[in-house]
Amino acid sequence: MKKYDETVLQAAYEYIRRRERATHPDGSFDRGGRWYPSEAEERPCCDHIRRPSRAWPYSLMTHCRTLPHVAALYGVDPREVRRAVRDEAWKVLQAQEVLAK
């Protein structure tokens, strides 16, 4: 199996967990129930996403679970992350986590 950068693996694993709703993007809801990412979570890619509205309160949360956003969050190439996801290379981290318990 191809060797992956540790940060790429972490990004891939975080993407998988966010997709499975095991982890959640960092942010908060306003009084209207609309979700916004925290300063630590927000990246330039988020600027292109439709602002949350009453009809679409989770537009940014949905975006923050996508692979390009998670790659941006970790500062790595989304193509590398996609490869690591496809190879299931992130399972190494999952196994380490299980062993650490």
Min dist CB 69 to Zn ion, Å, is 4
* 8 A C-beta contact, residue 37 and residue 89: no
The binding site for Zn ion (CB under 5 A) comprises: 43, 45-46, 69
Min dist CB 40 to Zn ion, Å, is 12
Q: Which of 46, 91, 40, 86 is nearest to 64 (CA)?
A: 46
Q: How far is CA 64 from the centre of its chain?
A: 6
Min dist CB 6 to Zn ion, Å, is 22
Closest CB to Zn ion among residues 10, 78: 78
